[in-house]
Structure 1
Amino acid sequence: MARIGEGGMGTVYLSRTRGGQPVALKVIRREYGQDHDFRRRFEQEVQAARRVQGYHIVPVVDHDTSGELPWLASAFIPGIPLHDALTQFGPLPPAAVFQLVGTTARALSAIHAAGVVHRDLKPSNILLGAGGPYVIDFGIARAADATQLTQSGGLIGTPQYMSPEHALGERVGPATDVFSLGLIAAVAATGRHPYGDGGAITIAAQIANTAHRPPQLASYDPALRSLLERCLTADPAERIGTEELAALCQELAGRGLSDFQGWLPAPLGAEIARREQVAQNPPPPTAPQMPAAPPAAPPAAPPTAPPTAPPAGPPTAPPTPVAGFGPAPAYDSRTYNLSPAPAPTATSAAPKRRRGARMAVIATVVVLAVAAGAGTAVWILGKDKDKDSKANGSKGSAGQASSSPSPSREQQAGGSSPTPSGSSGSSSQATANATYSKLFEGKALTLRAPAGGLDSTYVDLDAPKVDPTNYMDSDTADFSADNSQLTFTRPMGKASGTTPQECRAGAEQNPYTETLSAQSINKEKAIAEGDHLCMVTGDGNLAMWTITSVDRPADSDYLPNFSGTVTVWNIAN
């Protein structure tokens, strides 16, 4: 019925059971599904997760690991991730924080009783609903440990919310989740991380070194500080248990943990109510769509007729959603926009526009030496980066590719090339002889990083138009933005000047890689004020986006907001 999220392990769709219960259907990424070890571990983890039952836990209701693409289905709740709530509405009042932590501690008790450790508890894995908080994605992330992505020793998890033993690569247990919950409590109450405001790697290093340099908690409210001190001890055996933590939070909150009448500030409660209303009236179902697979060989001939999809009969009135789910992101992923999944479109042997693999994933290993007294502790993290960039050797100081990039995975498999006409060596003469006529100049275009539950924002430079609702046809978009990167359908590069000739040279001779990370943009200034970003669009025009301002966030892992103007030329060869 709708695409509601996309993260590091897969894409999440809103669907229904045969009985009409709304579910969140997560289809696992193809590169994971092709790994036998992952399938085996995924089966074990999901079976364990299906045994978990309890209040404020989003249950896994079904799964399959035998098909081409493994999947799992969880009950659906139209809540707002805690990370999004803090970003949009600021820290929570103390009573709400204690109720949040106490209820989550009860959910962890049920998870641990089933022999499952969450391992990746963080603000984006806690959903806030009218009926309280809900824990999602428990135990599933560990299945990725068996894949080729982490065989070199990396760890799955979010560095800022790891426990010391997790960051050091040691054995994890229920106390690991308690440490993560303590970090969440501090951030939810103040917006400040107990280990400072550095980058993910820096914070993880400080967490790993907790035994020698514990966090400074003096600035926190005394009641909250007493809770944090019992959660954030370096020795797992000394941390407070989940049942005791729940009792402590109920005492500090001054109300029953199950009393959620007006438990959140009014603006946040109103946003949750709005999402519930949207979920009760989702867009009508479209024809089924499976994630596209790279073609095994070039098609012999164009199809004589476009493929037909099964009819999607008239939808029945959707029931009120009863529970919830969210993605298992490589980074913090913002979802729940309930935008319709794009319907399949007819294809030809050489489609005019084709979006590349937007979220290809590899793991690079970062080794961080942490000073620990007289010795040294080594912390290793497997962090997602762009797969095609590494495979093709297209790496630069600012995330840019060389002027002659290697073929993409789809090109190697016989698929259509994403390179615009006139950008190959064989057509260099046509490029040199091209003439340009200006279609428009200086039209404003502002691109804001997705927030408030959106997973991607799409941009059509020919219009120009920005679509943050996900309704833009994927074949129309020239590039897209999620919270952690830009993804280019066609090569985009930085021009040395503003003439059409300089613009086209920038697009063809100095392009970025298929994806450009927020880290490259924020730390390495891969995109800055005054840059002229150029692309030959899918409509065959030459577009130049001149950046006038870059509003960089405090956390460099997230994409900035960009403002600028667009000029477009028609190309005649």
Structure 2
Amino acid sequence: MAGYRLLARLGEGGMGSVYLTRTRGNQPAALKVIRREFGQDPDFRSRFEQEVRAARRVQGYHIVSVLDHDTSGELPWLATAFIPGLPLDEALRYGPLPLPAVFQLIGAAATALGSVHAAGVVHRDLKPSNVLLGSQGPYVIDFGIARAADATQLTRSGGFIGTPQYMSPEHAGGEQVTPAADLFSLGLIAAVAATGRHPYGDGAAITVAARIANTAQVAPDLTGYPDALRPLLTRCLAADPQQRPAPAELAELCRAASGRGPRDFDDWLPTPVAAEIARRERAAEELPDPQPATTPPPPGYTPTQGPAGHAPTWGTGPHAAPTQGATGPVPTPGHLHAMPTTGPGAPAAGPRRNPALRAALGVVALIAVAGITWTVARSDGSGDQATGRHDSPTPAHGKDGSSGPPPTPSASPTPDGNAGYQVAFKDRPFALRAPSEAGFNYIDLDVPKSVPGTQIDESPYEITYNGVSGIGLEFHTPMGRSTGRTAQACLDGSHSDVLPDKVRREELDKGQTIHVGTLLCTETTDGNLAMIEITGMSPNHQSNMPDFATKVTLWKKG
């Protein structure tokens, strides 16, 4: 579908459908297509644009970030990072969590809410299915998006947006919602995670919401909850929003109660839950690329907008305007519901995949990507079919947007050892720092520079330092080890001792593949030759991966 290759349909919900896809840099992403009745409402489109732009500003620990969005196509959509974790509501099928894990969960979610609120966003729909459990801790997803639906004619005519059982009293009563509402929802999540019981009892969703709205008159009965948890519940479930704790205060209370540091998530979950998360992580890594599509795009299709100043082209990144939506509860990254295989809204039939893989992901049917010609736009107007795989020895584009691969290296060594290159700069100090948890640092060796955050267009960068799911260093251009410091030795090393395109967290932490003294060499996306000399390594306790002190040398053809 346009710039996305769809690997699987993960689910559908109250605001739309979600698909598993990959960015141009081969990072997994979740593409959410908004339901048609919302997409056809001009008020919703305007609010959706505002809210998602605000959500894209949110960065921090335990956050599943919004990567991209568009409101100009037939249906609005947004793309988020994909974490192959287990939603809390599914994890609770194995039973309540141990109390230390509950405190870690709530503390991490409070930290995430602090980042959300600092960006001027209120989640408004915090519930167990919007808290994702991963091997590196929990993640909060889908923040701020529900507000876009609150302004639509659907809601004004009687629709109900949000999850009644996890609303705050002010939200359930139709009053103004502030950041404190998210803290009330987090208190409800804590109660359910620790015991499996809701503080306001069982019953229909609207019945529970009515009890919540009446909290000022009848407070919830907390006598059946663990003694250590009751002070937290009392604070979070206060009827007066001003009496609820701030996210930073709650995070500190939880840190003290759990007895573990804010980044210590080793063995933090019960064995059955941890095993299911590990299974999903393996399945996500092994998911095969889809077959390239062969059918041309529909007549009159206009590529949708990307970041400012970027003009998307077919096959150049995750910019899409899908033309079909569906109905049902909104799915989330890593929330892998089984989907119907027949009937309305069922995924299109596609090539069969590994049955064990499908079972691990919880996906009944994979999408056959058809209807779009995959091409890489070139300056002369022609195009070649793009595979989207990281198995080509040279990139398709340079940083200046030019087409074609960089110059082919000389086949035979030159007498001076320069291989036809000239030094652009030599031994320039450069800090290759590990990203924050679930964060990304993108490395451009032609400068050199490091760009934090999530980049939709990864083509200018040779390296991504990836904090998601223990991935570690990713090389977008073939990276090899050199035995010498000349351009010729660097060029030879970049082709003869090539590293895997991913060096995982545990390998980096132990210095198994890259250590002090290693000389890494690659041909850059601009057609230059770069050498990174590792001169030092130091632990980064926020990510459990090392920071590298390096010296970078760059040669240019000439």
TM-score, with length taken from structure 1:
0.53
1:59 aligned residue (65, 68, 79): 65
1:13 maps to 2:19: yes
Q: Which amino acid aligns with 1:205?
A: A
* Number of equivalences: 328
Contact 2:8 2:19 in 1 (8 A): yes
Q: Which amino acid aligns with 1:225?
A: R
1:355 maps to 2:343: yes
2:42 aligned residue (36, 39, 42): 36
Contact 1:58 1:74 in 2 (8 A): yes
After superposition, the CA RMSD in angstroms is 3.4
Equivalent residue of 1:197, what SS? coil
Shift of residue 471 of structure 1?
5.8
Change (3 A) 1:50 1:333: closer
1:161 corresponds to which residue? 166
Shift of residue 19 of structure 1?
1.8
Instruction: Measure the CA separation in 1 of the matches of 2:48 and 2:234.
Output: 35
Equivalent residue of 1:203, what SS? helix
1:99 maps to 2:104: yes
Shift of residue 470 of structure 1?
3.0
Change (3 A) 1:335 1:137: closer
Change (3 A) 1:53 1:170: same
2:217 corresponds to which residue? 212
Equivalent residue of 2:268, what SS? coil
Instruction: Measure the CA separation in 2 of the matches of 1:52 and 1:106.
Output: 12
Q: Which amino acid aligns with 1:227?
A: L
2:30 aligned residue (14, 18, 24): 24
Shift of residue 265 of structure 1?
0.7
For 1:251-307, what per-residue CA distance to the aligned partner results, in whole angstroms no more than 9, with x for missing partners? 1101112100000011110110000000001143146699xx9xxxxxxxxxxxxxx
Change (3 A) 1:453 1:126: farther
Contact 1:165 1:171 in 2 (8 A): yes
Equivalent residue of 2:112, what SS? helix
Equivalent residue of 1:255, what SS? coil
1:109 corresponds to which residue? 114
Shift of residue 452 of structure 1?
8.9
Q: Which amino acid aligns with 1:32?
A: F
For 1:349-405, what per-residue CA distance to the aligned partner results, in whole angstroms no more than 9, with x for missing partners? xxxx9833579xxxxxxxxxxxxxxxxxxxxxxxxxxxxxxxxxxxxxxxxxxxxxx
Change (3 A) 1:330 1:64: same
Change (3 A) 1:46 1:471: closer
TM-score, with length taken from structure 2:
0.54
Change (3 A) 1:3 1:357: closer
Q: Which amino acid aligns with 1:280?
A: E
1:278 aligned residue (275, 283, 291): 283
1:143 maps to 2:148: yes
Q: Which amino acid aligns with 1:355?
A: G
2:202 aligned residue (197, 206, 211): 197
For 1:525-555, what per-residue CA distance to the aligned partner results, in whole angstroms no more than 9, with x for missing partners? xxxxxxxxxxxxxxxxxxxxxxxxxxxxxxx
Shift of residue 27 of structure 1?
1.4
Contact 1:81 1:128 in 2 (8 A): yes
Change (3 A) 1:329 1:452: farther
Residues 5-14 or 169-178, more deviating: 5-14
Q: Which amino acid aligns with 1:198?
A: G
1:232 maps to 2:237: yes
1:395 corresponds to which residue? none
Instruction: Measure the CA separation in 2 of the matches of 1:341 and 1:159.
Output: 25
1:469 corresponds to which residue? 364
Instruction: Measure the CA separation in 2 of the matches of 1:27 and 1:256.
Output: 38
Residues 182-191 or 13-22, more deviating: 13-22
Unaligned runs of 5+ in 2: 1-6, 299-313, 316-324, 348-358, 369-558
Aligned pairs for 1:290-329 (under 5 A) are none
Shift of residue 199 of structure 1?
1.8
Instruction: Measure the CA separation in 2 of the matches of 1:215 and 1:81.
Output: 26
- Identity over aligned pairs, percent: 66
Shift of residue 341 of structure 1?
10
Q: Answer 1 or 2: higher relative contact order, Cα 8 Å, separation at least 6.
A: 2
Aligned pairs for 1:362-401 (under 5 A) are none
Contact 2:85 2:335 in 1 (8 A): no
Instruction: Measure the CA separation in 1 of the matches of 2:257 and 2:338.
Output: 43
Instruction: Measure the CA separation in 2 of the matches of 1:29 and 1:235.
Output: 35
1:478 corresponds to which residue? none
